[in-house]
Amino acid sequence: MTDGALAGIRVVELGQLVSAPYCAKLLADYGADVVKVELPPDGDTARRWGPFPGDVPDPERSGLYQLLNTNKRGVTLDVTTEAGRELFLRLLENADVLVENNPPAWMRQRKLDYASIAGAHPSLVMISITPFGQTGPYRDWNGCDLNAFHLSAAGHRYCGRPGEAPLQHGTFSADFYGATTAATWGLAATIGRGRVGGGQLVDVSCAEAIAATFVGGQNIGGYAQDGVYDRRTGVSMGLAAPAAILPCKDGHVWMLVLEPGQWDGLVKVMGNPEWAQPEMFRDMFVRGENKDLIHAMTEEWTKQHTKAELQDMCQAEGVPTTAVYTVAEAAEHPHLRERGYIAEVEHPVLGPLRTLGAPAMLTGTPGGPRTAAPLLGQHNEAVFGDELGLDAGEIERLRAGGVI
C-alpha cells in the first residue's frame, strides 16, 4: 500500500485476539506496512474463536480473525526461542512501531519489554495494550476485556435496571476502545519522535480507556470532586421523556425528546393527542417526572408503526429518533453501503469476503481494507527472505526447528 496517509510507516504486531490486532489494523487501513507476527504452530487465538462459515472450525475462516487483520502481511515466528527472538529483533530494526497486547510478565520474561529493547531500538514507538496497564498492583493480573470494562465502574453505571444487579456488557468494548486509544496516541508518538528525541512506550490500559470514555468526568471525576455520580436508568433516561427504547410493530426505536421544539415535533407527528397538550409538558424535567405516563401513552402510538416509519416521521419534524437495528439489518443497510463502510476483499480460501471499512474517511487518501487477512505464515519467504536476507536453506532449517 503506497497511497495511504500512513504510507512509509512500518509496524510490527505481536498480538492476538482484539486489542493489538485492531490497533494495527487501523494503522494498516490508512497505508502503514504492518507485519503480523504469529506464534507457530497455531497462530493468533482469534483463528480459533470464529464465527466460522457453516459453524465448521477452520483457522483460515474465522470471522473475528478476518475482521481484525485486513491489509497486513503475516509471518510465523516463535519469539520464545532464542533464534526466534533474535529474528524478531531484526524485524524491529526497520520498524517505526511495535504493537503488542501480551501480559507484561510474559514480555519481561522474554526480554521483549520496552526496557529490554529500547536501547537497541531508540527510535521505536512501542504500543502496549493490556487490561490494566504496565504499572500498578494489577499489572500482572490475569484479565481480559470484560475484567477491564468492569474495573472502570462502567458496568455499575450503565448495564442493567435501577436497583438490580449489573449486567454483563457486550464483549470486546474495552479492547476496541483501548485499541483506538492506542492507535491515536501511538501515531502521535510516532509523529512526535523528533520533538522528544526518539521513541517511547505508549502504555494503554483498556480499563482506563473505558473509564475516560464510557464513564467520564461526570461520574468518576464528579464523585472525586463532589461525591456524586449518575445511576443506571435501565432502558430510559431519567431527566426527560420520552427518552428511551420504545417498542413498535417490527422491533424497537430509540427516541430522544429533550428540547421544547422536539416535544412539539413529536406531538405533531402523533396527531396532537389530547393527553400531550398541557403546556407543562414542554418542560423536559416535568416530562421526566411523569415518564411512566408519557412512555405508556407514546408506546400506544409507536406500536402502530414500523421502526422505519417512526424514524422517517420523527426525523422530518426534528425529533431525534433512530431504529434499533438488528445485526442483519445493519449489515445490509443502504446508508452504510453507500458510504462504502461495507467493503469487499478477495480471500484465497473464502473467496469474495465482505468486511467493515475504515472508521474515518480521508478525502485525499481514502483508507480501508484492500487485502484480506493473511494466511498463517503467508509472507514468511517475503519477509524473512527478501527483506531480512535469509536464504532458502536458513528458512527451511528454521521451519524444521519450529521457529517459523
- Give SS3 for 184: helix
**Are 179 and 26 contacting, i.e. CB atoms less than 8 angstroms apart?**
yes
Average pLDDT value for the chain: 93
146-168 pLDDT, tens digit each = 899 889 888 888 888 888 888 88
For 370, the domain range is: 10-214+338-400
* Neighbour count for residue 177 (Cβ, 10 Å): 26
Considering the domain architecture, whether residues 18 and 134 belong to the same structural domain is answered as yes
Question: What is the model's pTM?
Answer: 0.93
Considering the domain architecture, whether residues 62 and 177 belong to the same structural domain is answered as yes
User: Residue 335: what residue type?
Assistant: H
353-396 pLDDT, tens digit each = 999 988 888 988 889 999 999 999 999 999 999 999 999 999 99
d(CA 50, CA 23): 20
**Of 324, 357, 392, at which residue does a domain stop?**
324
Residue 214 has a pLDDT of 79
Residue 120 has a pLDDT of 96
Considering the domain architecture, whether residues 186 and 270 belong to the same structural domain is answered as no
Domain count, the chain: 2
Comparing 88-97, 132-141, 215-224, 330-339, the range with the smallest average pLDDT is 215-224
CATH number, position 291: 3.30.1540.10
**Are 230 and 239 contacting, i.e. CB atoms less than 8 angstroms apart?**
no
- Is 43 a member of any domain? yes
- Is 230 a member of any domain? no
Considering the domain architecture, whether residues 28 and 140 belong to the same structural domain is answered as yes
Q: Is the pLDDT of residue 274 over 90?
A: yes
Considering the domain architecture, whether residues 43 and 171 belong to the same structural domain is answered as yes
- Is 226 a member of any domain? no
Cis, bond preceding 352 (omega within 30 deg of 0): no
Considering the domain architecture, whether residues 179 and 320 belong to the same structural domain is answered as no
d(CA 147, CA 150): 5
Considering the domain architecture, whether residues 15 and 71 belong to the same structural domain is answered as yes
Considering the domain architecture, whether residues 95 and 126 belong to the same structural domain is answered as yes
Residue 161 has a pLDDT of 82
Considering the domain architecture, whether residues 28 and 133 belong to the same structural domain is answered as yes
